[in-house]
Amino acid sequence: MSSQQGKRIVFTGGSGKAGRHVIPELLKKGHKVLNLDLAPLPNPDGDGLNPDVFTLKTDLTKSGQVFNALTTHFNFAGFDIGQVPQPPDVVIHFAAHARNMLVPDNKTFEANAVSTYNVIEAASKLGVKKIIIASSETTYGVCFAEGDIEYDHFPLSEDDDMNPMDTYAISKLCGERVARGFARRFGNDIYALRIGNVIEPHEYEHDFPKHVGQPETRKRNAWSYIDARDLGQICDLCVQKDGLGFQVFNATNDTITTTEPTLEFLKKAAPGTKITREMGEWEAPLSNKKIRDVLGFKEEHDWRKYYTPGEK
C-alpha cells in the first residue's frame, strides 16, 4: 500500500551535504520535517538557514537523547496544540561521519554503528512503522579498498555478497544488519539506501569535467552517482511505499558517467569483470533497477542536462 498524505518525519543529519537538498524535496511533497543534527539546516544554496525546518541539536550516540528527540515538538508552534508530543510517522536516518579519515577509524565505527542502532531501536520501540536509513555504495568493497582492486561483477545489485575492508563501509553494513533484525522483530518497514556518490547542483559545473573526461578517477564510485534532489524523490517514494519489511535499495541515477555506452566502456576499463545480466545501453554499473521496478523511481536530474562533454 502507498499513501500520498503528508507525514511527520524526523530526519537525522539533515544539515549535511545530502540532507540539505533532500529535506526541501520532502517539504515540497507536503511532509513536515524535524531535523536532528549538531548544526542548523542551511538553505540548499548555502545562503542562510532554512526557515521552514527546526533543528534540534542531538547527539545520536546517546540513546536517551534519541528517545527524547523522537517524542518532541517539531517547532515552538507545537506548544499551541495542547497535546503532548507524539512519535513521528517516519524516521529518516542520514547522520554519520560521511567517510573515513574525518576522525580515527574506531570513532567512525563507534559513532556510525551506535547512532544507527539507537535510532532504529528508539523508533521501533516507539511504534514508528517506517524507518529509512542511509547505507552506502562503499559496502560493495571497492570505494575505500586498499589498492586498485576489481569489482566481482557488473551490474552491482542489492543481492550481492558484501565484504568491504574499510571501517566506514563496515559501519554501514552493520547498520543494514541492525535494520534487518529489528524489522523482523517489530514487523515494521526499514529500508536501507545504498547511496551513491552524492552530487549537488553546483558540482556539475565544477566536478563533471573531470568525472567524464577522466573516467579512471570514477572507478571507486563504479562510474555512478546520485543527484541530491533525486535522492529526495527516492526518500519520498520510500515514505509512500508500505509493507515491504526490510529492503535494501541502490540509490543512484540511471546512467553511467561516461561518453561511451556502458558495455563498450566496461570492456575497456574492466575487461576481467564479468557481466551477469543484460544491461541497458547507458545503465549505471551501480544499478538502480530495483528502485525503478519496486518504487517507480524516475530520475529528474540526468547529468547530461547540466554538463555537455567537452565543456570546461
CATH code of the domain in which 151 resides: 3.40.50.720
The confidence score (pLDDT) of residue 24 equals: 97
312 is a domain residue: no
pLDDT in tens, 146-179: 999 999 999 999 999 999 999 999 999 999 999 9
292 is a domain residue: yes
The confidence score (pLDDT) of residue 4 equals: 63
pTM for the full predicted model: 0.96
* Average pLDDT value for residue range 118-144: 98
Asked if pLDDT for residue 1 goes beyond 60, the answer is no
Range of the domain at 98: 8-304
Asked if pLDDT for residue 142 goes beyond 90, the answer is yes
The confidence score (pLDDT) of residue 45 equals: 80
Identity of the residue numbered 247: Q
The confidence score (pLDDT) of residue 312 equals: 61
1 is a domain residue: no
The confidence score (pLDDT) of residue 156 equals: 98
How far apart CA 194 and CA 137 sit, in angstroms, is 5
User: In angstroms, what CA-CA distances link 187 with 42, 63, 196?
Assistant: 35, 21, 28
* Average pLDDT value for residue range 167-192: 98
The confidence score (pLDDT) of residue 5 equals: 81
107 is a domain residue: yes
Asked if pLDDT for residue 8 goes beyond 50, the answer is yes
Domain count, the chain: 1
Q: Burial-class residue 304 by CB neighbours within 10 Å (0-12, 13-18, 19+).
A: middle
How far apart CA 120 and CA 12 sit, in angstroms, is 12
* Average pLDDT value for residue range 3-21: 92
Average pLDDT along the chain: 96
How far apart CA 206 and CA 139 sit, in angstroms, is 27
Task: Express as a percent the part of the chain with pLDDT over 70.
Answer: 98
310 is a domain residue: no
pLDDT in tens, 40-49: 999 888 778 8
DSSP per-residue letters across 136-174: EGGGGS-TT-SSS---SEESB-TTS-----SHHHHHHHH
Asked if pLDDT for residue 119 goes beyond 60, the answer is yes
